[in-house]
Chain A
Amino acid sequence: MKAQHAVRLGLRRGWIEFVQSVRSSQDQGFYLFTAFLAVGYLFLGRNTEVDGTDLLFPSVALPSILGALVAFGVVVGPAYALAMEKEDGTLLRHKAVPHGLAGYFTGQLVFQTLSLLPQMVVILLPSFLLFENLMADSSGWLTVAWVLLLGLLAAMPIGMVIGALVPSAQKVGTWGMLPVMVLAGISGIFYPIQQLWGWVQVVAQLFPMYWLGLGMRSAFLPDSAAALELGGSWRTLETVLVLGAWAVVGAVVTPRVLRRMSRRSTGSQVQAAREAAVQWVR
C-alpha cells in the first residue's frame, strides 16, 4: 500500500520531468538536432532506388533509423541519467524518504519512455511531409506499437545497468555511447547487414538493436521488401523471442543491480563526485 503510493508519486515525478524536459530549450535543441541529421540523411538519398526493389531510399532507411534511435535513446538516456543522479544527490534524496527509491525508478522509467515521443514526432512529421510511400499499409502502426514496447523493455534495462555500474558520469561515453554506436554500425541501420562478415552478423543479432530495426522495417515496408533481409523473411517470431529474452533478463537483473547501487550510495560519494567535478586533470 505504501509502496504503491510511492509508485504513484513516481508516475507523477516522471510526468513532471517530461514536461520540464519538453519545455527546456536544451532538450528541444537536442531533439531538433537529431531530427535535422536524420531527415537530412534521408533527404540526400530521396531519389535513390534501393536495389532489388521498387522502393526509394527514405522508405527503407527511415524505419531502421527509428529503430536505432529508440535503442540509442533508451540505453544512453537512462545510463546518463542514473550516472549523473547518483553523483549529484538525486538518488540520495530519494533514499532518505520512505519508499523513495521505488518512486525514483518509476519516475525514470516513465520519463525515459515518454521522451521517445517527441523524438519520434520530430522525425516522423517532416519525413511524412517530404517523402512518399513511407508506410506501406496503415496496419503497420500496430506493429510499430508492439515493436516499440518490446524494444523498450529489452533495451532500457541495459541502459539502467550501465548507469548503475559506471564509476562516474564521464565514463558513460566509453561504456554506454561507444558500444551503442558500434552496434548501430553493424546492425544493418545504415547499410544491409549482409555486407558484413558472418561473425559480425552473428554478434549484431545477439543485441536488441538489430531486431528493433528489423521490426520497424517489417512495420513500414511492404512484404515484398522482406526479400532484402537475412533469410528473406521478417522473422517476426525471432524478433519477439530475442527482444523478449532481453526483457526477461533485464527484469530479473536490473532490480538487483539498482538495489546494490542504492545501497552503496552515500553522502560522501556525492561529496567526492562534487570535488572530482571541479578537478579537471586527474
Chain B
Amino acid sequence: MNVPKQDFVHRFHIIGISIAVIMLVLIYFSSLVTGVDFDTFMTNIDQFGVILGQMKDPDWSYLAKMKDPLLQTVQMAILGTTFGTALAIPFSIFAARNIVKNRIGRGIIRIILSLIRTLPNLLLAALFVAIFGIGPMTGVITLALFSFGMVSKLFYEVIETIDMGPVRAIRATGASMAQTVRIAVMPQVAGQFMSDFLYTLEINVRSSTVLGYLGAGGIGLYLQQTLDQYDYPRTAVIIISIFVVVLVIDTISNYLRKRLQ
C-alpha cells in the first residue's frame, strides 16, 4: 500500500513547537525587564488571606450610608451613557460608508472618533477632574465622552449593514438625505442602537464605581477612603453592594436586550 508521507515540518509539529518556545522566551524576558518576580508573588500571597479574613465580618451598619453614593454612581452612568449615545447618533451617520459618499469628510470624522477611543476612561477622568474639579459632574462628562467614542463605532457599523433598498426608494420620492435617514435608516437600526446603548450602560455602571477614586463622584470615593484607612469590614460592604448593583443592572439590561432581538 502506498501511504503518502508527511513532510518533516508537519510530522514533528515544527511550527507549533517553535511558536511555543518563542512565547516562553518572550514571557521570560518580559518578566525580567518589568521586574515581575514570582517569588514576591508567592511570599505575599498570604496577605490575601489576611485581608479576606478581615473582610469576613462586613460592617453592615455602613450599608445605610452607601445608598446615596451607589444611587449617584448609577445616575452618573445613566446620564453619561445617554448624553454620549445622543451625540453618537449624528456622528455615526456621518461616519457610515453607505450614507456619506464623501471620503474625506467621513475620514476626518472617523479619525476624531478613533482618537477619542484611544483614551482610557480613567485617563479621561483624571483630565476632567483637573478641568471641572471634583464631583459627579466630572464623572458624567467622562462617561459621556467614553460612551460617545465607543457607541459611535458600534453605531456606524450597524448602519453599514442595513438594507439600502428602502433608502433608494425614499430618495427616489424626492426626500432629502436627512429625511431619508429618518424614514429609511432609523427604523432599521433603532433596535440594535437600543441594545448597544444598554450594553454601554452596563460597562459604564461598572467603570463608574472606580471613577470616584479619581474624585469623579460616586461610590469610588468611599472605596478609596476605607481602603486608605485599612477599614476592611467597610470595604467589604462597599464591594458587596457594588457587586449586587452591577448584577441587577446587568440582569435587567440582558433581559431587555434579549427582548429587543
- Asked if chains A and B come from one complex, the reply is no
